[in-house]
Chains A and B, each alone.
Chain A
């Protein structure tokens, strides 16, 4: 028997991995991606510059912010991985474990914990979720007890009173609430809108009140239930939602309380108090300070742009940045906001535009290799730019909608919970592969969450912007006095909406 020298390698196993980009249609020649977990999206300018350097050295100067507040690099070579991991270890970052590529229900890990991106600085924040996020992230990182779960597990924590973390699509979501004179969390559980069984599910409110000091134990007990009782016979049935669907909420709560050794208080108040995505420039809870949320529409950044943003965060803020769950980036603790806005314009980042720039997102379908152009992130930019030319920004903002685009039916960019969701499908036309998208309308999250309905299927990618324009023109003509696009969509039949997508006189 011969032992291979692997000490340098073993220090990374269980904390670092690279994922695979190389599906047949991938035009980018990227073999692997690196998904850097940035817990809660908290990152300093120095860390951001170092990640930019990794992108420049190993990833062709390209990076993308994901909808779980990670940073993803592509074109990563396996042979460079240890050097990259060493830098990441210095920065205090790890990666997703990419265990879902194994066949069978195994090697599931806890994914990056999504947190309200303005935790600790948002005015009127109910509760700062950062301490809970940090404690949980530290606990799960490299923890062998949680590396072989039936499948991945997703947590979110929102302390601001809004659903800026998309609680409904997480396995367990903590949402800060007030109960009488107490502050704590209520919970939603079992969310996942991917195709795995029993199909797309929005997380359900559990009607409980969790004291901040109990939240960590509740999170760990829940993920242990997933690990110990989740289905290991079938990968398709291995997400937490399957267990919850089969057990029912009552049984789950009984098992949870038994593990905790205490009964959780009930909570029947509202889960969400407001609707915000923290867009634009907002005053912080710290007097005279602002945060500046920079819309990226798809989350893509060059390494040079990353360095510019890091430098501006140093110059005009405290050097603190936050990645948002909508693929945007925030500079914190800014006093001279107008000067910062001017400087941002100079380096190519504009905050002028509709809210769609902050609320719309697309997946990395060009790297995924299951689609052809137009890819999801291209579609987002194209539609938003087109709509801003056709309509006043105020009208678009009034309609209060988001556009989520996934390149394939996997729903990676949560297309089924946006007011306008686009789910990619490859079609063949005259023997040629073409990209089409199914149009879903009426989805939404936060107050009164709903899954969107499929209204029209296999729409060619280049027709989408016109379809959306037609819908909006019909909405503006036919809406009730105070009616959002979602409400409008949900009071019309599929046939009616199909006609609204087809012409301005639908």
Chain B
């Protein structure tokens, strides 16, 4: 199975990570790695379609001191969370 995980630049200091089709723990691990590769003040949008990840990732990130927006439903079965990198 070929998988490539890229951070898409979608605006000034704003990036998107597509974690659709992945089960736990990969969306959470990818999100952490993405955040680690960004600069301070960058914003990361994570696109998810696995409901357990949608529920688990925001509290896990908040526990690590990240600012996480409310989860937004993009379309049926797809959600977006927005994370502010640590300043």
Chain A interface residues (CB < 8 Å from chain B)? 1-6, 9-10, 13-14, 17-20, 22, 31-32, 78-79, 81-82, 97-99, 101-104, 107, 142, 144, 147
Q: Which residues does chain B contribute within 8 Å of A98, judged by CB atoms?
A: 23-24, 52
If A19-B24, A78-B25, A97-B23 touch, whether A3 touches B5 (CB-CB below 8 Å) is: yes
Q: Are A3 and B4 in contact (CB under 8 A)?
A: yes
Give 10 closest A-B pairs by Cβ, nearest first.
A78-B25, A20-B52, A2-B7, A17-B23, A103-B77, A81-B25, A144-B1, A78-B28, A14-B1, A4-B33
Name B35-71 residues within 8 Å CB distance of A. Answer: 37, 49-52, 55-56, 60
C-alpha spacing A489/B28, complex, angstroms: 51
Q: Are A32 and B24 in contact (CB under 8 A)?
A: yes
Q: Which residues does chain A contribute within 8 Å of B56, judged by CB atoms?
A: 20, 22, 31, 78
Q: Which residues does chain B contribute within 8 Å of A107, judged by CB atoms?
A: 21, 23
The interface residues of chain B, by DSSP majority, are classed as mixed
C-alpha spacing A255/B22, complex, angstroms: 33
Q: Are A78 and B37 in contact (CB under 8 A)?
A: no
Q: Which residues does chain A contribute within 8 Å of B4, judged by CB atoms?
A: 3
C-alpha spacing A112/B28, complex, angstroms: 26
C-alpha spacing A142/B51, complex, angstroms: 22
A/B interface sample: 9 pairs, CB < 8 A: A1-B8, A4-B5, A6-B33, A20-B56, A31-B56, A32-B25, A98-B23, A101-B50, A144-B1
Q: Are B25 and A4 in contact (CB under 8 A)?
A: no
Q: Which residues does chain B contribute within 8 Å of A9, judged by CB atoms?
A: 26, 29-30
C-alpha spacing A9/B60, complex, angstroms: 19
Q: Are B6 and A4 in contact (CB under 8 A)?
A: yes
Q: Which residues does chain B contribute within 8 Å of A99, judged by CB atoms?
A: 23
Which residue of B has the minimal Cβ distance to A10? B3
C-alpha spacing A198/B55, complex, angstroms: 30
Q: Are B77 and A104 in contact (CB under 8 A)?
A: yes
Is B13 positioned at the interface, with any CB of A under 8 Å from its CB?
no
Is B76 positioned at the interface, with any CB of A under 8 Å from its CB?
yes
Q: Are A103 and B51 in contact (CB under 8 A)?
A: yes
Q: Are B9 and A101 in contact (CB under 8 A)?
A: no
Chain B interface residues (CB < 8 Å from chain A)? 1, 3-9, 15, 17, 21-26, 28-30, 32-34, 37, 49-52, 55-56, 60, 76-77
Contact of B30 among A4, A17, A18, A20 (CB under 8 A): A4
Q: Which residues does chain B contribute within 8 Å of A4, judged by CB atoms?
A: 5-7, 17, 30, 33-34, 37
Q: Are A6 and B30 in contact (CB under 8 A)?
A: yes
C-alpha spacing A2/B18, complex, angstroms: 12
Which residue of A has the minimal Cβ distance to B25? A78
If A13-B1, A78-B56, A101-B51 touch, whether A18 touches B25 (CB-CB below 8 Å) is: yes
Q: Which residues does chain A contribute within 8 Å of B8, judged by CB atoms?
A: 1
Which residue of B has the minimal Cβ distance to A99? B23
B68 to chain A, nearest CB (A): 16
If A20-B52, A104-B77 touch, whether A1 touches B6 (CB-CB below 8 Å) is: yes
B12 to chain A, nearest CB (A): 15
B60 to chain A, nearest CB (A): 7
Q: Are A78 and B23 in contact (CB under 8 A)?
A: no
Which residue of B has the minimal Cβ distance to A14? B1
20 extra interchain contacts, Cβ-Cβ under 8 A, other than A4-B30, A78-B56? A1-B6, A3-B5, A4-B6, A4-B37, A6-B33, A9-B29, A13-B1, A13-B22, A14-B1, A17-B23, A17-B24, A31-B56, A32-B24, A78-B29, A79-B25, A79-B28, A102-B49, A102-B50, A102-B51, A103-B49
Q: Are B76 and A103 in contact (CB under 8 A)?
A: yes
A32 to chain B, nearest CB (A): 6
C-alpha spacing A340/B17, complex, angstroms: 56
A367 to chain B, nearest CB (A): 14
C-alpha spacing A102/B34, complex, angstroms: 23
Q: Which residues does chain B contribute within 8 Å of A6, judged by CB atoms?
A: 3, 5, 30, 33
B7 to chain A, nearest CB (A): 4
Q: Are B49 and A78 in contact (CB under 8 A)?
A: no
Q: Which residues does chain A contribute within 8 Å of B30, judged by CB atoms?
A: 4, 6, 9
C-alpha spacing A31/B21, complex, angstroms: 21
Q: Which residues does chain A contribute within 8 Å of B26, judged by CB atoms?
A: 9, 13, 17
Contact of B9 among A1, A14, A97, A142 (CB under 8 A): A1
Q: Which residues does chain B contribute within 8 Å of A5, judged by CB atoms?
A: 33
Which residue of B has the minimal Cβ distance to A78? B25
Q: Are A17 and B25 in contact (CB under 8 A)?
A: yes
Q: Are B24 and A20 in contact (CB under 8 A)?
A: yes
Q: Are B60 and A78 in contact (CB under 8 A)?
A: yes
Which residue of A has the minimal Cβ distance to B20? A102
C-alpha spacing A22/B53, complex, angstroms: 11
